Structure formats: C-alpha cells, structure tokens
Amino acid sequence: MESSEKKLLEVTKLRKYFPVKGVRGPGVQAVQDVSFFIKKGETLGLVGESGCGKTTLGRTVLRLYEPTGGRIVYDGKVLYDNPLGPDGKALGKAVSENMLPYRRKMQIIFQDPSASLDPRMTVGEIIGEAIDIHKLAASKGDRLDMIKELLAKVGLNTEHANRYPHEFSGGQQQRVGIARALAVKPEFIVCDEPISALDVSIQSQVVNMLEDMQQEMGLTYLFIAHDLSVVRHISNRIGVMYLGSMVELGESYELNRHPIHPYTQTLLSAVPVPDPELSKARKRIVLEGDIPSPMNPPKGCRFHTRCPYAAERCSQEAPEFKEHEPGHWAACHLLDS
C-alpha cells in the first residue's frame, strides 16, 4: 500500500473526559493526551481492549465529541486547539474551527450497522439523505444515478434502494453504512470496528471491500479493532491503547515483530502466530487483575497495576510517549534506561 508522506491528520495530546453528574472531579477520563498522525492514503490501525477509549478517540477526532483539550490538525487546517498545562487547565484561548466543511470530508462507519441505520427510511433514502445534506446532486436523475452507482460499488442491487434496513443481513446492512459514508466523497474515514458485529464468514469480504475502496478513491483510514489479528494485515501502522492512553505506535510489521511496550507484548502473546520459531519464543503472558476504571485511573503509568515489570517510579510518574526508534513510539520508563 503506497502512501505519500503528507500528514492528513495530526492529533496532539488529545483529551476527552466525560463529566459524571453528581460526581466531583474530571469524570470519565476516556482519552488521555493521545498523540499520533495519519499520512494521506494510509491505514492506521487502532487496537486495545473494550472500554480503552478507541471509539471516544475516533469520535473526538471528528469532533462528534467536543475535545476536553489538545490539538487536531486536518489537511493543514487547525480544527481544534486547546493546549493544557500540567494542572489540566487551558494555557490560552481555545481555537475551534467551524466543522461544517469538514463533515463531508471526514466520515465514520459504525460498529453496529443495524443501530446506525434509521429503520423508517429505505436504503435509497438513507444514502440520498447524505447526498442531499451536502448538496452533491445537480438533479433528481443525477441523485438516483449516484445512489445506483454507490449500491453497485458496495455489491448491492439497484432494487435494494426501495427496501428497509431490517430486510437485510448484517453484512448487507454494513454495506449500506459504507455506501452512506462513501456517498459524500470523503477523504478520511474512521472505521469503528466495522466488522466486529458481522459473521466471521463475511468479515473478510467487508474488509476487502474497504481496501478496494481505499485504492480506488485514495482514502485514508483510522481502522479500529479490539483485536490485533484484524488490523495487522490491513494497516500500514498500528497504535495500541490502554485505559485511554496510546502506549505504543509503529509500522505494522515492526510492531508485530518487535513490540517494545509490555502491554503490546501481552496483547501479541494472545495472538496465534504461524511462524513456529516466533511462536516458541513468544510465551503467552496473562495479565493479572482487572482493567481499572477510567473514572479513577492509576497514577503514574496507567498500566502499572497490571504490568509485570512495574517499578516504584511507574506508580509515581507517567512515562512520556516518545519515539524510541525511527517511526516507533512508546510510553514506558523501561525504555528510557
């Protein structure tokens, strides 16, 4: 997969907290100062256990959730900027760009296709609505042609336009969701676990389709999955999250072969590897304890309550997320020594 070096999206110390009614303090600290970029035309995979903040990060990047702090730059334009000091207070005045022109360029495909499609609308109306909102069709005929073309693109028939979502299988519903996202000719798509709710037998079809679309339309993806095995083949690079923090990010091959963060090492130890040498070398590591609550995350390194290598410093001081080898970032004190 070729990708030019141009950064399409750049996110710096992005933070999203959800206030909790009746509870003092910051609330749910769902995304904690996450930094990464995505190059134009590439796929960045994003993995981590359920509840670690992947969806929140994806939606905050699109400003479907308003960030609590940090910076988002898209295609050279600052969409949001609110740098926070060490005490969590804003350092200056927040910059918040009008998102309307970017709503078309930046799309999302949801995890649960049935919940994301309005049951009272036909498939044609669902796709047509996206075209109408952004005034992309010159005439009624033009609009119909666009709907037909989109349906064909995602492997559905013209007559499917008159049917309702419940008349479709999960895989077909997800195709409708993809057609809706593509209808507005986007540049960037957050694919939020688009195949997790689908039968295993059709998962690869949908993944292949997304890859074909990417090639054809030059799309850039943030591809979220809870499982490394889903994203390892389709991602140029992969980021790993734990309890709201990005703990490691690197080239897909490199991250799979040489994970440098203890959490990534445990994640990978659970993924079967076809290479017998690598399989022997890679002992299954089982983490002890539960994931702490993001309402009250551990101080210092958020992973220290479960990390097999945790030392005194880990519970006091949060490790910095930095580039340890070219293109390979991680946040762990072990790597500093």
Binding residues (CB under 6 A) for ligand ADP: these are: 18, 28, 30, 48, 50-56, 294
Residue 19 to residues 14, 40, 66, 332, Cα–Cα distance (Å): 16, 34, 12, 28
Q: Choose between 168 and 263: whose C-beta lies nearer to ligand ADP.
A: 263
Among the listed ranges 36-44, 49-57, 230-238, 299-307, the one in contact with ligand SF4 (CB under 6 A) is 299-307
- Smallest separation, CB 239 to ligand SF4 (Å): 16
User: CA 93 to CA 96: how far, in whole Å?
Assistant: 10
Q: Tell me which residues in 222-281 interact with ligand SF4 (CB under 6 A).
A: 262
Q: Are 239 and 44 in contact (CB under 8 A)?
A: yes
Q: Choose between 195 and 287: whose C-beta lies nearer to ligand SF4.
A: 287
28 binds, among ligand ADP, ligand SF4, Mg ion, none (CB under 5 to 8 A by kind): ligand ADP
- Smallest separation, CB 184 to ligand ADP (Å): 24
Number of H helices, E strands in the chain: 11, 13
User: CA 232 to CA 274: how far, in whole Å?
Assistant: 13
- Smallest separation, CB 305 to ligand SF4 (Å): 8
51 binds, among ligand SF4, Mg ion, ligand ADP, none (CB under 5 to 8 A by kind): ligand ADP
**Which of 309, 322, 323, 326 is in the footprint of ligand SF4 by CB under 6 A?**
309
- Smallest separation, CB 262 to ligand SF4 (Å): 4
Q: Are 70 and 91 in contact (CB under 8 A)?
A: no
- Smallest separation, CB 27 to ligand ADP (Å): 7
CA proximity to 45, closest of 229, 291, 319, 261:
229
The residues, ordered by sequence, that sit 6+ positions from 24 with a Cβ below 8 Å of its Cβ are none
Q: Tell me which residues in 12-51 interact with Mg ion (CB under 5 A).
A: none
- Smallest separation, CB 131 to ligand ADP (Å): 29
Q: Is the dihedral of CA 214, 215, 218, 224 positive or negative?
A: positive
CA 183 to chain CA centroid, Å, is 21
Q: Choose between 136 and 197: whose C-beta lies nearer to ligand ADP.
A: 197
CA proximity to 194, closest of 242, 153, 230:
230
**Which of 161, 310, 321, 329 is in the footprint of ligand SF4 by CB under 6 A?**
310
The answer to whether residue 334 forms part of the interface with ligand SF4 (CB under 6 A) is yes
Q: Choose between 232 and 333: whose C-beta lies nearer to ligand SF4.
A: 333
Neighbour-count burial for 52-78, b at 16+ CB within 10 Å, e otherwise: bbbbbbbbbbbbebebbbbbbbbbeee
* Six token digits for residue 135: 């005034």
319 binds, among ligand ADP, ligand SF4, Mg ion, none (CB under 5 to 8 A by kind): ligand SF4
- Smallest separation, CB 51 to ligand ADP (Å): 4
Instruction: Number of residues interacting with ligand SF4: please give it, by CB under 6 A.
Output: 12
User: CA 69 to CA 71: how far, in whole Å?
Assistant: 7
Place of tokens 């959730």: 65
User: CA 311 to CA 305: how far, in whole Å?
Assistant: 10
Binding track, positions 55-84, relative to Mg ion; x by CB under 5 A: x-----------------------------
Residues in contact with ligand SF4 by the rule CB under 6 A: 262, 301, 303-304, 307, 309-310, 314, 319, 332-334
